[in-house]
């Protein structure tokens, strides 16, 4: 799901032409993340700390508005390379931004060798200025890795590979923080579309009035404030995958547009004159019960069936046997550079509590708690208190009668052995069993004891 290289590149395309050379960049070892909007770029920068960013814009002022310019000016530790059409080289505001914020620029279409060489230089420059990727920021290879060894996750990995190989929509369901977005990315990166953009849209966080133009784009003058043509996120994902997160929040009046897109593979920009053919695979996710939403009339049934051709269900963390510990240790290593020096790992009590905790926020919560504990911990090992887990939120331990008996038996034997200095004859007399029986029990419970009288015990 990721390359060995840790050379990350943000491809920010605010123009209304498709991105170029993404495949070649990937072949050259770049981990390329594409986006068409400022929020998406900010997320990618947060998550991957790219050393190099390519910005493609056109001569229109809208593709270089204030938020975009802010991105170029204020993001730290990124070398920017611009891609622009020849005809905008003469424009003053473009010259100014490019000369002040950019490492270099190429005109479209770029000569492949030259652009790759520039990206290499930009990377070298970034390393020189801010140090190697591995020292300092969070960037690490394996950023997108899905970790898990539980039977539920092994099952999921198998299904993930199966759905990746076909082109049908996938509906990913599961509680918040279970890794739905990560799964969507994994599908994309294992699909034939891996070299094309992966565009994520959170349908719940877009303002209602804007969602249509965000998804489908708009033409210049389509509404007040639409001073430029804007390509929507579906179009920005052309050739690749669009991930519609929190699809249950998509307003009902837009559901019909999405349905049309799924059926006909065409979109229409707001204020646009006609249908545009777009080849994009749709992945959708939700943490709500869509079937209930359909029953309530909040979600179109036809759209539900269209989206739910293939289904992946992300298991809740509390149900994944063994994964809590595996993930906790994985994130401990991942954030090792942030921890206090003395902290070496988790105490048995902390691990025990984590295993019993119900993790309502799933993996996202686990990451936050582990990360915080690593900073707060004052001892060598992280304690339950460092994790801030309330014992009341833990599953009550279910203990079988057999286990209870075993624990009591073990305790009694341990006491008798200790009291009698590991003398089997004395201890067995006190416990009222034969020496042979006592010896067997010691083996059964794997009790440590000094085998002084062992030879005559058997
Ligand atoms: N199996 C996993 N292995 C490693 N990291 C994971 C795993 N599942 C989730 N994460 C991480 O947990 C966080 C929440 O995952 P996300 O995909 O955003 O969840 P959701 O979309 O279901 O709310 C992200 O930082 C993601 O990288
Ligand atoms: Mg999510």
Q: What is the pLDDT of residues 19-71, one digit of tens each?
A: 899 989 988 889 999 998 888 898 898 888 899 999 998 877 667 788 888 88
Work out the pLDDT band at 133, boundaries 50, 70, 90.
Answer: very low
In this structure, the residue with its CA closest to atom 15 of ligand 1 is: 179
> Do 457 and 424 meet the contact criterion of CB atoms below 8 Å apart?
yes
Q: How far is the CA of 95 from the centre of ligand 1 (A)?
A: 41
Tell me the CA–centroid distance for residue 106 and ligand 2, in Å: 36
In ligand 1, which atom is closest to the CA atom of 176? 23
pLDDT digits (tens, 9 = 90+) for 64-78: 788 888 888 888 889
In angstroms, what is the span from residue 150 Cα to ligand 2's centroid?
21
Question: What's the rounded Cα separation, in Å, for the pair 17 and 132?
Answer: 33
Confirm or reject: Cβ of 363 under 6 Å from ligand 1: yes
Q: How many angstroms separate the alpha carbon of residue 180 from the centre of ligand 1?
A: 7
> Residue 421: its pLDDT value, please?
86
Identify the CA nearest to 108 among candidates 27, 16, 237: 16
Which is the closest atom of ligand 1 to the Cα of 330?
Answer: 4
Atom of ligand 1 nearest to the CA of 285: 21
Q: What is the pLDDT of residues 277-329, one digit of tens each?
A: 999 999 999 999 999 999 999 999 999 999 999 999 999 999 998 899 999 99
Residue 393: the pLDDT is 75
pLDDT given for residue 359 in this prediction = 94
The C-alpha atoms of residue 183 and residue 193 are separated, in whole angstroms, by: 15
> How high is the pLDDT of residue 454?
43
Residue 314 CA, closest ligand 1 atom number = 22
Q: How many other CB atoms sit within 10 Å of the CB of residue 435?
A: 17
Is 182 a pocket residue for ligand 1 (Cβ < 6 Å)? yes
User: Which pLDDT band holds residue 135 (cuts at 50, 70, 90)?
Assistant: very low
The sign of the torsion formed by the CA atoms of 103, 104, 109, 115 equals negative
Statement: residue 455 has pLDDT above 60: no
Q: Any residues with CB less than 8 A from the CB of 250 and at least 6 apart, and which? A: 203, 211, 244, 258
Please report the atom of ligand 1 found closest to the CA of residue 47. Answer: 25
- Tell me if 146 CB under 6 Å of ligand 1: yes
Determine whether the shortest distance from the Cβ of 177 to ligand 1 is under 6 A.
Answer: yes
CA distance 210 to 37: 14
- Residue 320 near ligand 1, beta carbon < 6 Å: no
Q: Residue 55: what pLDDT? A: 95
Using a 10 angstrom Cβ sphere, with 0-12 exposed, 13-18 middle and 19 or more buried, the burial of residue 15 is buried
Residue among 157, 174, 182, 333 whose CB has most ligand 1 atoms within 8 A, to mutate: 182
Q: How far, in Å, is the centroid of ligand 2 from the Cα of 27?
A: 29
The pLDDT score that the predictor gives to residue 140 is 39
Cα gap 259→47, rounded to integer Å: 32
- Please tell me the distance between residue 284's alpha carbon and the centre of ligand 2 in angstroms: 10
Residue 81 has pLDDT above 80, yes or no: yes
- Cα 36 to middle of ligand 2, angstroms: 19
- Angstrom distance (rounded) from CA 404 to CA 31: 53
**Which residue out of 46, 175, 177, 249 has the highest number of ligand 1 atoms within 8 Å of its CB and is therefore the one to mutate?**
177
- Relative to beta strand 79-84, strand 52-56 is parallel
| Pocket perturbation via mutation, ligand 1, pick of 184, 363, 367, 371 by most ligand atoms within 8 A of CB | 363
User: Which ligand 1 atom is the nearest neighbour of the CA of 183?
Assistant: 17
Q: Are 83 and 108 in contact (CB under 8 A)?
A: yes
457: confidence class by pLDDT, cuts 50, 70, 90? very low
Label each residue of the chain as H, E or C: CCCCCCCEEEEEECCCCCCCCHHHHHHCCCEEEEECCHHHHHHHHHHHCCCEEEEECCCCHHHHCHHHHHHHHHCCCCEEEEEECHHHCCCHHHHHHHHHHEEEEEECCCCHHHHHHHHHHHHHHHHHHHCCCCCCCCCCCCCCCCCCCCHHHHHHHHHHHHHHCCCCCEEEECCCCCCHHHHHHHHHHCCCCCCCCEEEEECCCCCCCCHHHHHHEECCCCCCCCCCCEECHHHHCCCCEEEEECHHHCCHHHHHHHHHHHHHCEECCECCCCCEECCCEEEEEECCCHHHHHHCCCCCHHHHHHHCCEEEECCCHHHCCCHHHHHHHHHHHHCHHHCCCCCCEECHHHHHHHHHECCCCHHHHHHHHHHHHHHHCCCCEECHHHHCCCHHHECCCCCCHHHHHHHHHHHHHHHHHHHCCCCHHHHHHHHCCCHHHHHHHHHHCCCCCCCCCCCCCC
Residue 198: the pLDDT is 93
Rounded to an integer, what distance in angstroms lies between the CA atom of residue 101 and that of residue 68?
Answer: 12
The candidate with the shortest Cα–Cα distance to 217, out of 240, 235, 243, 201, is: 235
Collect all residues with Cβ–Cβ distance below 8 Å to 25 and sequence separation of at least 6: 9, 11, 32, 116, 119
**Which pLDDT value is given to residue 408?**
84
Domains of the chain, earliest start first: 8-130 (3.40.50.2300), 155-313 (3.40.50.300), 317-393 (1.10.8.60), 401-444 (1.10.10)
Alpha-carbon separation of residue 96 from 27, 69, 73, 100, 102 (angstroms): 33, 11, 12, 6, 10
Contact 10, 48 (CB under 8 A): yes
Q: How many angstroms separate the CA atoms of 104 and 82, rounded?
A: 6
334 CB near ligand 1 (under 6 Å):
no
Is the pLDDT at 222 greater than 90? The verdict is: no
181 CB within 6 A, ligand 1: yes
Our CA angle for 355, 343, 349, nearest 5°, is 30
**438 pLDDT above the threshold of 60:** yes
Q: How far apart are CA 62 and CA 64, in angstroms?
A: 5
247, two tokens = 């699809």
Residue 386 CA to ligand 1 centre (angstroms): 22
| Ligand 1: residue whose CA is nearest its atom 25 | 364
**pLDDT band at residue 453, thresholds of 50, 70 and 90?**
very low
pLDDT of residue 313: 94
Regarding the beta carbon of 148 and ligand 1, being less than 6 Å apart is answered yes
Are 197 and 238 in contact by the 8 Å Cβ rule? The answer is yes
**pLDDT tops 80 at residue 142:** no
Average pLDDT, the chain: 87
For tokens 């279409």, the residue is 109
Which pLDDT belongs to residue 143? Answer: 53
Average pLDDT over residues 365-377: 94
Please indicate whether residue 104, judged by its CB atom, sits closer than 6 Å to ligand 1: no
Q: Is the CB–ligand 1 distance for residue 212 below 6 Å? A: no
């Amino acid at each position: 799901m990721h390359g060995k290289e840790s050379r990350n590149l943000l491809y920010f395309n605010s123009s209304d032409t498709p991105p170029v050379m993404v495949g070649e960049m990937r072949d050259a070892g770049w981990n390329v993340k594409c986006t068409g909007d400022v929020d998406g770029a900010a997320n990618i920068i947060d998550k991957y700390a790219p050393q190099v960013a390519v910005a493609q814009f056109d001569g229109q002022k809208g593709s270089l508005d204030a938020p975009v310019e802010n991105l170029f000016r204020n993001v730290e530790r990124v070398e920017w390379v611009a891609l622009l059409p020849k005809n905008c080289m003469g424009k003053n505001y473009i010259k100014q931004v490019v000369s002040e914020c950019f490492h270099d620029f190429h005109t479209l279409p770029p000569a492949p060798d030259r652009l790759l060489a520039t990206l290499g230089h930009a990377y070298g420059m970034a390393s020189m200025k801010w140090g190697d990727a591995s020292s300092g920021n969070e960037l690490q290879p394996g950023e997108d890795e899905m970790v898990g060894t539980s039977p539920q996750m092994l099952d999921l990995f198998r299904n993930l590979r199966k759905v990746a190989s076909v082109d049908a929509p996938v509906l990913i369901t599961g509680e918040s923080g279970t890794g739905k977005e990560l799964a969507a990315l994994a599908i994309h990166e294992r699909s034939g579309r891996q070299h094309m953009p992966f565009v994520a849209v959170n349908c719940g966080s877009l303002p209602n009035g804007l969602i249509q133009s965000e998804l489908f784009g708009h033409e210049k003058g389509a509404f007040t404030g639409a001073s430029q043509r804007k390509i929507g996120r579906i179009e920005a994902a052309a050739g690749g995958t669009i991930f519609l997160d929190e699809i249950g929040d998509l307003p009902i009046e837009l559901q019909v547009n999405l349905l049309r897109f799924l059926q006909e593979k065409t979109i229409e920009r707001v204020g646009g004159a006609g249908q545009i053919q777009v080849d994009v695979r749709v992945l959708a996710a939700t943490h709500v019960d869509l079937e209930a939403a359909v029953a309530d009339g909040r979600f179109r049934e036809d759209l539900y069936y269209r989206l739910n051709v293939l289904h992946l269900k992300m298991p809740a963390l509390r149900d994944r046997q063994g994964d809590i510990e595996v993930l906790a240790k994985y994130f401990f290593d991942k954030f090792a550079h942030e921890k206090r020096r003395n902290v070496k790992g988790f105490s048995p009590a902390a691990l025990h509590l984590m295993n019993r905790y119900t993790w309502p926020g799933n993996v996202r919560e686990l990451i936050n708690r582990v990360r915080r504990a690593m900073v707060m911990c004052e001892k060598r090992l992280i304690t339950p208190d460092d994790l801030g887990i309330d014992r009341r939120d833990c599953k009550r331990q279910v203990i079988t009668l057999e286990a209870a008996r075993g624990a009591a038996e073990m305790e009694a034997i341990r006491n008798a052995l200790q009291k009698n200095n590991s003398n089997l004859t004395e201890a067995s007399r006190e416990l009222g069993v034969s020496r042979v029986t006592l010896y067997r029990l010691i083996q059964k419970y794997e009790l440590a004891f000094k085998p002084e009288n062992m030879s005559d015990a058997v």
